[in-house]
Each structure stands twice: as C-alpha cells, then as structure tokens.
Structure 1
Amino acid sequence: MARKPAHDFAAQKRETFETFDELRKDPDLPTRGIVHFLFVAEDMEPDWKAVETALAAKGFRTERDEDEGMIDAAFGPMPITPEAIWEMEKLSTEIALAFDFFPDGWDMLAED
C-alpha cells in the first residue's frame, strides 16, 4: 500500500500569512472574530462523528455538509492576527488529517 505524502504545513502557513497580508489592507478588518476552517473528506464515507468529536474536544464548533463532503470547524471569537489564525488552523488541520480530511482554506466573521 502506498504511503500518503506528508502534509506541507510550511506551505499552508505561508499561504495563510500571504492571505492575511491582503486582508490587512481592509480598514474594516476586525480585531476579533470567528474563524471558520474548512476541510474536505478524502473518503466517500468519512467518519464524521469521530472528526467532529476530536475537533469539539479542542473547542471547535463543527458543521458538516455531507453533500459536498466538507466540514466547517469554527473557532472564536479569537484575535484576528496571522499568528492566532495559524495557531488554530494548524491545530484543526492536524486533527482533520488524522481522519482523512484535508484543509480547504478559512474564512472569518467579525465578532458581534
């Protein structure tokens, strides 16, 4: 059986910081908000409950879209800085990868 290639966390971190550099140009960028980390299932029948339980144990709120094979792991309110986003993105990615879900970006909502 072929081994899966290791996930490139360095490239993922670079992309997050580059994305944030673009967002920083917006004068309305919030200082706190809820960040949604998105993951796509590799398998046709992923273990939704297991990944949701593991993410919830670390404080993420999950929402699944079984039709799209995606899970949204929301965290916050949290500081909206590249360092804070990366810290939670890395943690959620490590958890998701263990269940064969792969990162598909992030989005955020300002804290109400």
Structure 2
Amino acid sequence: MTHDYKAQRAETLESFASFANEAPEQAVITYQFYPEDVDADWDGLERALQAKGFRTQRDEDEDLLDALIGPVKITAETIWTHEKIATEIALGFDFTPDGWGLIED
C-alpha cells in the first residue's frame, strides 16, 4: 500500500490554517510516529532521522517516536517540507505518521 502524501499535505495545510493567525514566528516542530510492528527498528529510525537533522525522543509508554526540528520559521510550507522528509524516512522503518505540533521556546 502506498502512502497518500497529497492527503497528508492537505491535512497539514488545513490544520495550520486553523491557527495561522496565532502561530509563533519561530518554534520547534515535533512530528510523531508510531510503529506498525512490535519488532519495529526504533534505533534505525532514530539514526536515519538524526542524519537528516532531526532530534528524536522516544515515548515507549505511548508507543511513539518524536522527530523534532528547529527552531525554524513557522509557515505551512515549512511544516510540510520537514513533515514529508520525516514521513518518508519513518515509512521506510514501518512507522506511521501521527501528527505534529509546535514547541515554543
């Protein structure tokens, strides 16, 4: 099964539009991924994301991995650009995207 990047992008742009007027100028973006398999390669995914400039945090209690980037200038396109990169990597390790958020300093 192929991933629907078009739908994912549309959802991201719609989500951002709902709070764009209140969005910070700069923030850290965090993207969440959950494993599709109990034997998921958490370490491999973290190494691959880190090689692309993301910081990672595991929340194994929630069965999630966060990929963080920034602080960066916050626009819908900036969020999507990094989201697509992180998603492409995560899918290669059988992890599925589960949303994003902003962390202000």
| Residue 57 of structure 1, CA deviation | 0.2
State the TM-score, normalized to the length of structure 1: 0.90
Rg comparison, structure with higher value: 1
Task: Report the Cα offset of residue 67 of structure 1.
Answer: 2.5
| Aligned alpha-carbon RMSD (Å) | 0.9
1:96 to 62, 83, 90: 90
SS at match of 1:107: strand
For 1:23, the equivalent position in structure 2 comes to: 19
Pairing 1:55-66 to 2, within 5 Å after superposition: 55-66=49-60
* Residue 66 of structure 1: how far off its partner (Å): 1.8
Q: Distance in 1 between matches of 2:81 and 2:9?
A: 9
- Three-state SS of the structure 2 residue aligned to 1:25 is helix
TM-score (norm 2): 0.96
Matched, 1:72 2:66: yes
Q: Percent identity?
A: 50
For structure 2, list consecutive stretches of 5 or more residues without a partner in the other structure.
none
Q: Which runs of 5+ in 1 are unaligned?
A: none
Q: What is the alpha-carbon distance in structure 1 between the residues aligned to residue 81 and residue 18 of structure 2?
A: 19
- Specify the alignment match of 2:99 in structure 1: 105
Q: What is the distance in 2 between the residues matched to 1:87 and 1:97?
A: 16
CA distances 1:7-65 after superposition (whole Å, capped 9, x unpaired) = 00000000000001001132xx2111000000010011211110000000001000111
Amino acid in structure 2 at the alignment position of 1:55: L
How far apart, CA to CA, are the structure 2 residues paired with 1:67 and 1:39? 13
1:55 partner SS: helix
Q: 2:6 is matched with which residue?
A: 10
